[in-house]
Amino acid sequence: MNWRVIGASVVGSSHVQTSAPCQDSCFYHVAKAADGSDFLVALASDGAGSAQFGEVGAEIACETGGKLLLAAVEAADGARLTVELVSELLEGVRAEISKAATVRDVATRALACTLLGAVIGPTQALYFQVGDGAIVARHEGGLAPVFWPESGEYANMTYFVTDADAPSHLRAEIRSATDEAALFSDGLQRLALVFSDETAHEPFFEPMFKALRASTDEQTDSLRSALERFLGSKAINERTDDDKTLILATRALGAVDVSGV
């Protein structure tokens, strides 16, 4: 079995109008453990809109967290994939953001960002999250959120890895492995989730998963480009003006040739 994974972070229309950068970031990689098994490592981060360097914080969170998780998988066949490892990851991310803030002579809140991630191996999956956005995973044929996006005390507020009490808002769980998952930032929440009953809006995901399942390794680059165009399309921008990140991953026995479709 092998993973097919694509992802993209696209600037929102509101940021285009103000010439602001995309404050989202993502990281994904398929790591090979010492025993030869494959582990999907994926992270997404959304820089706070009010943060002067939110995009820097988001990039640091994904890169720092991604490197730590890759090292954990490659060094110990995934044996270190524990909830305790996620606490270590959060502290590492916070330390790197603090260094970057010092260099820029700003408070760490100027690099405020959310963070969510997944590490999925042959039998188990480790999920974690601080703030909003969501991870959905397929079990028993259906997609469901792993954690529901966490809002702050007021509307349009959430929690960030730079908050003093961020460790108390860190959610982490180990579950049985899945063969399909998606991670996305809060810019897609209203399209990808059903808030009335806290479920995943499966029609949003199914066409993309169908194309990814049927793809070959050679086709993933074109699918990633198609995903980027989709996230920046008029149809999406009419429903959300925020930055958008989406990572899609599927694990299948083999690929189907769709070159003639």
Between CA 261 and CA 257 the distance in angstroms is: 9
Residue numbers in the chain where pLDDT is lower than 50: 254-261
Between CA 251 and CA 236 the distance in angstroms is: 27
Task: State the amino acid at position 148 in one-letter form.
Answer: W
CA neighbor of 186 nearest in space, from 206, 205, 158: 158
CA neighbor of 116 nearest in space, from 52, 53, 71, 182: 182
Q: Write down the domain spans for the chain.
A: 2-252
> pLDDT tens for residues 129-159?
999 999 999 998 999 999 999 875 555 679 9
CA angle 132, 135, 139 (to 5 degrees): 150
Distances (CA, A) of 253 to 114, 128, 214, 250, 256: 34, 27, 11, 10, 10
What per-residue confidence (pLDDT) applies to 195? 94
Distances (CA, A) of 244 to 21, 44, 47, 73, 196: 12, 10, 11, 28, 22
State the chain's mean pLDDT as an integer.
92
CATH top-level class of 2-252: alpha beta
What per-residue confidence (pLDDT) applies to 257? 38
What per-residue confidence (pLDDT) applies to 53? 97
Q: Which residues are CB-neighbours of 116 under 8 A, at least 6 positions away?
A: 43, 44, 45, 127, 128, 129, 130, 131, 133, 134, 135, 147, 183
Q: What backbone phi and psi angles, to 5 degrees, belong to 193?
A: -125, 155
* pTM given for the model: 0.93
Which residue do the tokens 């988001």 mark?
Answer: 58
